[in-house]
Structure 1
Amino acid sequence: MSKYKDKEGEVLFSLGGQWVSWAHTLVAYIAFASALVVGIALHYHKIVKNEHYGYPDEWFPSVSATIGDRYPERSFFMIFIAITSGPRFALVGLWYLLTRKSGSRLPRVVALTGVFRTLTCGGWTYITSTDDHDWHDILMISYIVATLPWTTGCIALSPANPRAIQLRKYFAGAFFGTLVPLIYFFIQHKVHKVAGAYTTYAFFEWSLIILDISFDAITALDFSSFEIVVKDNTGLSKGKEKATAGVYSAGFTFTQTFDTIASVYHGFVFWTTLTSLGVVVWFFPLWYMGISGFEAFIMTTISPLFLANGPLRSFAVHNQRTIHFLSLSGIASYLIPNPTVRLCALGFGVFMSCFSWTATLVAESVHEVRFESKVLGLMAGLILSSTAKFIWQTNNPVWPIMHAENGGWNGVGLGLAVVAVFAFSRRAPLTTGSNDKELKGSPSLAAFGIGGLLFGLHSLLSDTSTMILWVWEGFPIRGPYSSTHGWCTVAAMTVGLFAGVARPQVTGGYLAFVAGASGAMVLTFFSHWTGYLGALAIATYLMAVSVPLLSSAVRKSPAVSFGVGFLLYNFLVLFHVWVVAYAFVPGGSLVREHSDWVQMTMMAFIGLGVVNYNRSVPRRQEPKAKRQAASQHKKYFGVATLAVNIVFLCAAYRRFPTNDYKPYHPEDRVMTAGIWTIHFSLDNYMWSSEYRMRDLIKDAELDVVGLLESDQQRIIMGNRDSTQFLAEDLGMYVDYGPGPNKHTWGAALLSKFPIINSTHHLLPSPVGELAPAIHATLDVYGQLIDVFVFHSGQEEDKEDRRLQSEYLAELMGSTDRPSILLSYLVTKPLKGNYNTYVSDKSGMNDVDPSDRNRWCEYILFKGLKRIGYARLSRDSITDTELQIAKFVVPKDADEIMQQKALSAEERNRRVTESQVPKDWRFPSLFRGKGVRGHRYHVFKKPRYYN
Structure 2
Amino acid sequence: MPPKYRDSDIVASFNGKWISWLHTAVAYTAFIGALAAGLSLHWHKIVQNEFYGWPQEWFPSVSATIGDHYPERSIFQLFIALTSGPRFALVGLWYVLTRRPNSTLPKFILGVGIFRTLTCGGWTYITSTDDHDWHDIFMISYLVSTIPWTFGVIAMSPKNPTAVQYRKYFSGTFYATILPLIYFFIQHKVHHVAGAYTIYSFFEWALVLLDVGFDAVTMIEFQNFEIQVRDLKGISRGAGNKVVADAILEKEKNREARAVFDNRFSWFGLLNAAADVYTGFVFWSMLTSLGLCVWYFPLWHMGISGYEVLVMCTVSPFLLSIRPLRYIFTKYVRICHLLSLSGLLAYLIKDPANRLFAVGFGVWMSCLSWAATFYGERSQTHRLEARISAFAIGLILSSLAKFAFHTNNPIWPIMHGPNDGWNKTGLALAVVAVLVSTRSTASSGADLPAPGPTKGSATLTAFGIAGLFFSMHSLLSDSSTMILWVWEGYPVRGPLAVPHGAVTLLAMGFGLLIGLFTPSLARSWVFYGIGSVGAAVLTTSKHWTGYYGALVLAVYTMAAAPVLLGQAARHSPAKTFGIGFLVYNFLVLAHVWIVAYAFVPGGPLMREHTDWVMSAMMLCIGAGVFSLSAQPPSPKAKGKPTAPNPAARKQRAYYVYVLLFLELLAISVAYLRFPSYNYTPYHPETKSITAGIWTIHFSLDNDMWSSERRMRDVIRELEIDVMGLLESDLQRIIMGNRDTTQFLAEDLGMYVDFGPGPNKHTWGSALLSKFPIVNSTHHLLPSPVGELAPAIEATIDAYGELVDVFVFHSGQEEDPEDRRLQSEYLAARMKATPRPAILLSYLVTKPLQGNYHTYVGEKSGMRDIDPSDWDRWCEYILYKGLRRAAYARVSRSTITDTEIQVGKFVVGQPEGSNDIIPEEQVPEGLRFPALFRGQGVRGHRYHVFDEPRYYA
Instruction: Output the amino acid matched with 1:548.
Output: V
Instruction: Output the amino acid matched with 1:143.
Output: Y
SS at match of 1:82: helix
How many Å separate the matches in 1 of 2:567 and 2:65?
Answer: 57
Shift of residue 720, structure 1, vs aligned partner: 0.8
How many Å separate the matches in 2 of 1:151 and 1:419?
Answer: 34
How many Å separate the matches in 2 of 1:415 and 1:13?
Answer: 59
**CA offsets 1:303-325 (integer angstroms, 9 cap, x no match):** 11111111221222222322223
**Which stretch has the larger CA shift, 470-479 or 637-646?**
637-646
Q: Which residue of 2 aligns with 1:483?
A: 498
How many Å separate the matches in 2 of 1:151 and 1:127?
Answer: 25
How many Å separate the matches in 2 of 1:215 and 1:188?
Answer: 29
1:208 equivalent in alignment to 2:215: no
How many Å separate the matches in 2 of 1:52 and 1:210?
Answer: 27
How many Å separate the matches in 1 of 2:277 and 2:203?
Answer: 33
Task: Say if 1:190 and 1:656, in contact at 8 Å, map to a contact too.
Answer: no
- What pairs up with 1:274-423 in 2 under 5 angstroms? 274-423=287-436
How many Å separate the matches in 1 of 2:518 and 2:13?
Answer: 53
How many Å separate the matches in 2 of 1:270 and 1:633?
Answer: 22
- What pairs up with 1:776-791 in 2 under 5 angstroms? 776-791=794-809
Instruction: Output the amino acid matched with 2:189.
Output: K
Query: Are the structure 2 counterparts of residues 561 and 262 from structure 1 closer, same or farther at C-alpha, using a change threshold of 3 Å?
Result: same
Shift of residue 59, structure 1, vs aligned partner: 2.5
Q: Which residue of 1 aligns with 2:788?
A: 770
Instruction: Output the amino acid matched with 2:946.
Output: K
Q: Which residue of 1 aligns with 2:226?
A: 225
**Which stretch has the larger CA shift, 130-139 or 417-426?**
417-426
Instruction: Output the amino acid matched with 2:859.
Output: K
How many Å separate the matches in 1 of 2:216 and 2:395?
Answer: 38
**CA offsets 1:171-199 (integer angstroms, 9 cap, x no match):** 44443343333223322322233333322
SS at match of 1:444: helix
Query: Are the structure 2 counterparts of residues 471 and 553 from structure 1 closer, same or farther at C-alpha, using a change threshold of 3 Å?
Result: same
Q: Which residue of 1 aligns with 2:233?
A: none
1:927 to 922, 933, 939: 933
1:662 equivalent in alignment to 2:675: no
1:190 equivalent in alignment to 2:208: no
Q: Which residue of 2 aligns with 1:609?
A: 624
SS at match of 1:569: helix
How many Å separate the matches in 2 of 1:166 and 1:33?
Answer: 26
Query: Are the structure 2 counterparts of residues 161 and 613 from structure 1 closer, same or farther at C-alpha, using a change threshold of 3 Å?
Result: closer
How many Å separate the matches in 1 of 2:341 and 2:21?
Answer: 53
How many Å separate the matches in 2 of 1:126 and 1:146?
Answer: 19
Task: Say if 1:276 and 1:399, in contact at 8 Å, map to a contact too.
Answer: yes
Query: Are the structure 2 counterparts of residues 742 and 217 from structure 1 closer, same or farther at C-alpha, using a change threshold of 3 Å?
Result: same
2:948 to 921, 942, 945: 942
How many Å separate the matches in 2 of 1:262 and 1:228?
Answer: 48
**CA offsets 1:491-525 (integer angstroms, 9 cap, x no match):** 33233222223333333233322322222222222
Q: Which residue of 2 aligns with 1:626?
A: 643
Instruction: Output the amino acid matched with 2:432.
Output: V
The sequence identity of aligned pairs, in percent, is: 60
Shift of residue 694, structure 1, vs aligned partner: 1.5
Query: Are the structure 2 counterparts of residues 684 and 83 from structure 1 closer, same or farther at C-alpha, using a change threshold of 3 Å?
Result: farther
2:766 to 714, 736, 748: 748
Query: Are the structure 2 counterparts of residues 155 and 763 from structure 1 closer, same or farther at C-alpha, using a change threshold of 3 Å?
Result: closer
- What pairs up with 1:521-536 in 2 under 5 angstroms? 521-536=536-551
SS at match of 2:317: helix
Q: Which residue of 2 aligns with 1:3?
A: none
Instruction: Output the amino acid matched with 1:270.
Output: F
How many Å separate the matches in 1 of 2:610 and 2:548?
Answer: 19
Q: Which residue of 1 aligns with 2:479?
A: 464
1:852 equivalent in alignment to 2:858: no
**TM-score where L is the length of structure 1:** 0.92
Q: Where does structure 2 lack aligned partners over 5 or more consecutive residues?
A: 231-244
- What pairs up with 1:137-216 in 2 under 5 angstroms? 137-156=136-155, 167-216=166-215
Shift of residue 93, structure 1, vs aligned partner: 4.7
- What pairs up with 1:410-809 in 2 under 5 angstroms? 410-426=423-439, 429-430=442-443, 432-437=445-450, 439-618=454-633, 621=638, 623-626=640-643, 631-809=649-827
How many Å separate the matches in 2 of 1:313 and 1:368?
Answer: 20
How many Å separate the matches in 2 of 1:84 and 1:426?
Answer: 51
SS at match of 2:844: coil
How many Å separate the matches in 1 of 2:69 and 2:229?
Answer: 39
Q: Which residue of 1 aligns with 2:237?
A: none
- What pairs up with 1:3-18 in 2 under 5 angstroms? 18=17
Query: Are the structure 2 counterparts of residues 633 and 387 from structure 1 closer, same or farther at C-alpha, using a change threshold of 3 Å?
Result: same
Instruction: Output the amino acid matched with 1:225.
Output: E
**TM-score where L is the length of structure 2:** 0.92
Task: Say if 2:333 and 2:440, in contact at 8 Å, map to a contact too.
Answer: no
Q: Which residue of 2 aligns with 1:270?
A: 283
SS at match of 2:814: coil
**CA offsets 1:645-679 (integer angstroms, 9 cap, x no match):** 23222222223332212112222211110000111
Shift of residue 134, structure 1, vs aligned partner: 2.3
1:842 to 857, 860, 865: 860
How many Å separate the matches in 2 of 1:74 and 1:645?
Answer: 34
Task: Say if 1:440 and 1:615, in contact at 8 Å, map to a contact too.
Answer: yes
Instruction: Output the amino acid matched with 1:697.
Output: I
**Which stretch has the larger CA shift, 33-42 or 261-270?**
261-270
**Which stretch has the larger CA shift, 785-794 or 335-344?**
335-344
Shift of residue 219, structure 1, vs aligned partner: 4.6
Instruction: Output the amino acid matched with 2:714.
Output: L
SS at match of 2:720: coil
Instruction: Output the amino acid matched with 2:816.
Output: K
**Which stretch has the larger CA shift, 469-478 or 53-62?**
53-62
CA RMSD after TM alignment: 2.7
Shift of residue 302, structure 1, vs aligned partner: 1.1
Shift of residue 568, structure 1, vs aligned partner: 0.7
SS at match of 1:297: helix
Task: Say if 2:773 and 2:794, in contact at 8 Å, map to a contact too.
Answer: yes
Shift of residue 478, structure 1, vs aligned partner: 2.3
**CA offsets 1:213-247 (integer angstroms, 9 cap, x no match):** 33444455348324466767564164132xx3545
How many Å separate the matches in 2 of 1:426 and 1:108?
Answer: 31
**CA offsets 1:571-610 (integer angstroms, 9 cap, x no match):** 1111111111111112212211111111111122112212
Instruction: Output the amino acid matched with 2:46.
Output: I
**Which stretch has the larger CA shift, 306-315 or 740-749?**
306-315
1:818 to 836, 846, 852: 836
**Which stretch has the larger CA shift, 613-622 or 767-776?**
613-622
Shift of residue 760, structure 1, vs aligned partner: 1.7
Task: Say if 2:30 and 2:80, in contact at 8 Å, map to a contact too.
Answer: yes
SS at match of 2:643: helix
Task: Say if 2:156 and 2:258, in contact at 8 Å, map to a contact too.
Answer: no
Task: Say if 1:580 and 1:592, in contact at 8 Å, map to a contact too.
Answer: yes
Query: Are the structure 2 counterparts of residues 627 and 812 from structure 1 closer, same or farther at C-alpha, using a change threshold of 3 Å?
Result: farther
**CA offsets 1:875-913 (integer angstroms, 9 cap, x no match):** 2222211110000111xxxx5xx53xx6xxxx1001111
Shift of residue 13, structure 1, vs aligned partner: 6.4
SS at match of 1:908: coil
How many Å separate the matches in 1 of 2:859 and 2:867?
Answer: 18
How many Å separate the matches in 1 of 2:632 and 2:444?
Answer: 21
2:916 to 910, 919, 922: 910
SS at match of 1:322: helix
How many Å separate the matches in 1 of 2:209 and 2:383?
Answer: 41
Task: Say if 2:751 and 2:771, in contact at 8 Å, map to a contact too.
Answer: yes
SS at match of 1:581: helix
Q: Where does structure 1 lack aligned partners over 5 or more consecutive residues?
A: 1-5
Task: Say if 1:320 and 1:425, in contact at 8 Å, map to a contact too.
Answer: yes
Task: Say if 1:105 and 1:254, in contact at 8 Å, map to a contact too.
Answer: no
Shift of residue 927, structure 1, vs aligned partner: 2.1
Task: Say if 1:439 and 1:616, in contact at 8 Å, map to a contact too.
Answer: yes
Instruction: Output the amino acid matched with 1:47.
Output: I
How many Å separate the matches in 2 of 1:94 and 1:414?
Answer: 45
How many Å separate the matches in 2 of 1:175 and 1:412?
Answer: 38
